[in-house]
Structure 1
């Protein structure tokens, strides 16, 4: 056999080996990022969906069309809780959310739109699409509710963070899957014909071996002429499952911190839960509500109404023990620091028509010396 025949024969063998499916494609680990972002956004969305939005004028709540749309039924297809969860989801994922009002007063969340920026006049929005329906009109900034999350898209920050965590997570998963992996080789008789039929037989043989060893506790596979199967022992020291969880939780912690969610809360830790929850409401939920409240104030109240005392207010969910609240309220009222209406506002309760709540009361134990109010030492006749 000449040199040319030798090279040609070696090339045929290489061709044969490259055609055999020996390596399984590594799965994408993008679910790590999706799970972390979805966990955090769902928590924020569920919390804000429990908020009540209302317009207050002096001591009464105005229950008008806006009150119904913001708290009961924003549109024909969504409840208020689902509506606000969707708003928060788009606001975090896309850094912005556009809400338009249809001719029937329905509040609709835009799936996509084009914003036209103008330096001296209000911006406009066109090509607005809601659930596949495109509006053939231009919306003015004054006629829509437009929310922005931050100056920088959090999605870009998370993508750059995930590039490191995702690679590490993927490598650990691969090592874990290869622990106690069955490793084998198939020796092919070089005298066999390098035809497509031979390649098909070899591939079929490998597939049967893989299926037998993967699905059966006891697998007996007959040897074929020209094909010799040999198994090698793997001594790889793989990472444990706890290492996988550490990387996964580490990325989740970074996402939670970027959104203002305390790490113990996202993991369900019960230690000092009251303090952690208060921090979550103060530094994560309240900024979201402030953005929504400011935008609603601008778009629903004109200057004259605002100067007349009308305000957009929110009554968010709060973590508090009713007995602790009652004790604190009693001290604030009895010391003259707050009247009844102010305390009811802080507790999220509607104002009362009782004139007693307009007064500031100071009980005897808070009065000092000569200014103390006398009386009550004995029953009057």
Structure 2
């Protein structure tokens, strides 16, 4: 989802007919908060969209209809990336996201109502709408997927917090414009100052000429007899440091609320591996766990206990250079931890599905401790010590 599309969802847009220009009618102070929130949501949603949701049947991974629905396309109109972006955005902004399943497809609701709160047997939901379509049926708690990380609406908290920052940003912007704007002083003869005809002429003609003169880079102002136009400069012009600091502070606050490292929010990354670990541990993993838990809850205990369940694999979020991890790959095969096909799938390659690629290998350096002790006893090494 592009940034302009994101803004259209939350702010009124004006289109100029006959051209491609679009005017976003939002106050500057809201722009900072929305840009920071959009950055945080985009980072989290991109990470979740890159995860592989594995489906298991009888404790074995399978690529069935569920796998396709969760990882490729949940419905005819969306890809899985678009779908999970929408889910994550609603979880962060509103505290929860409701997903329904109909005709084998998944849809994230744009709006819905809780028909009845039932703490013991589960709530019921109605007026669930997706786009311009509203379902007439009532949905029970076991019929929907309710993604909720906690009971706090982060979007609401940020809105409350940003009220004071909006005032500061507005004041800083106003001060900057006032001190750095172009100002001129027009000296007029005293006889004309109170003349009604002159006042009318000034409003209709002279002010327009002045505005054109000040707003254009190259322009000429005709100065008539009785008028004198002089530049009026501020004695202490301000720079944009205050605005930059407030913008940075807004990004830091949003980052703290979403558990995202500040270097990721700002884009000034120095240690990618360490930053990614922190990002995955505190920001992404809780969302991934929530998704897996909700999917397994909807599938039910009977399926789960039989070994049919869902699992979020966050291992593919971090970019891997195959040449940098070549020694680690060799070690995983040498110790028998993974076979060749398992490693290929982990690295994003297709499995070979051959007898040798499905075998587990182990070097001669790895032995059972009982076997090693037996060899030491037989060789007399234990007695010598």
Q: Report the TM-score range of the alignment, normalised by the length of the smaller protein.
A: 0.7 to 0.9
Whole-Å Cα distance in 1 between the matches of residues 44 and 99 of structure 2? 19
How many angstroms does 1:142 deviate by? 0.5
Structure 1 residue 51: deviation in Å?
1.6
Matched, 1:363 2:365: yes
The partner residue of 1:339 within 294, 316, 337 is 337
- Aligned-partner Cα distance in 2 for 1:27–1:75: 36
1:302 Cα shift? 2.5
Question: Hey, what does 1:16 align to over in structure 2?
Answer: none
| Partner of residue 195 from structure 2, selected from 192, 197, 215 | 192
Aligned to 1:210: 211
Partner of 1:46: 46
Whichever of the two has the greater Rg, that structure is: 1
Contact 1:56–1:311 (CA<8 Å) still a contact in 2?
yes
1:294 corresponds to which residue? 293
- CA distance, structure 1, for counterparts of residue 70 and residue 225 of structure 2: 73
* Shift, 1:106, TM fit: 1.8
Between the aligned partners of 1:367 and 1:120, the Cα distance in structure 2 is 53
Q: How big is the shift at 1:174?
A: 2.6
Structure 1 counterpart of 2:259: 260
Q: Which residue of 2 aligns with 1:23?
A: none
Counterpart secondary structure, 1:30 = helix
2:238 match: secondary structure: coil
1:54 is paired with a residue of what secondary structure?
strand
SS at match of 1:49: helix
Structure 2 CA distance for partners of 1:224 and 1:118, relative to 1, 3 Å? farther
Aligned position for 2:170: 170
Q: Distance in 1 between matches of 2:259 and 2:362?
A: 38
**CA deviation digits over 1:253-302, x for unaligned, max 9?**
21112111111122223422111111111211111111110000011x22
2:82 paired residue number: 82
Shift of 1:57: 3.0
Gapped regions of structure 2 (runs ≥ 5): 1-25, 378-385
Bigger shift: residues 162-171 or 256-265? 162-171
1:126 matched to 2:126: yes
Determine if contact 1:114/1:126 at 8 Å carries over to the other structure: yes
Listed as ranges, the matches of 1:1-381 within 5 Å are 28-58=28-58, 60-102=60-102, 104-115=103-114, 116-185=116-185, 189-193=192-196, 198-199=199-200, 201-223=202-224, 231-239=231-239, 241-299=240-298, 301-316=299-314, 317-319=316-318, 320-322=320-322, 325-328=325-328, 331=331, 339-340=337-338, 344=342, 348=346, 356-357=359-360, 363=365, 370-372=373-375
Whole-angstrom distance in 2 between the partners of 1:91 and 1:224: 67
Superposed CA deviations along residues 164-186 of structure 1, whole A, max 9, x for unmatched, are: 33333333333333344222355
| 1:32-67 deviations in Å (ceiling 9; x for gaps) | 111111111111111211122121135532333211
| Other-structure match for 2:14 | none
The two structures have a TM-score, normalised by structure 1, of 0.77
Q: Secondary structure at the match of 1:233?
A: coil
1:233-263 C-alpha deviation (Å, 9 max, x unpaired): 3213302x34432321221121112111111
Task: Please give the root-mean-square deviation of Cα atoms over the aligned residues, in Å.
Answer: 3.5
Q: Kindly state the Cα deviation for residue 220 of structure 1 after the two structures are TM-superposed.
A: 2.2
**Whole-Å Cα distance in 1 between the matches of residues 376 and 63 of structure 2?**
43
Whether the 8 Å contact between 1:93 and 1:154 is mirrored in structure 2 is: yes
Distance 1:118 1:217, change over 3 A: same
Task: Give the whole-Å Cα distance in 2 for the aligned partners of 1:309 and 1:362.
Answer: 34
Q: 1:65 to 1:224 in 2, by over 3 A?
A: farther
Deviation at 1:190, TM superposition (A): 4.9
Residue 207 of structure 1: how far off its partner (Å): 2.5
362-371 or 129-138: bigger deviation: 362-371
Contact kept, 8 Å, 1:329 with 1:343, in 2: the verdict is no
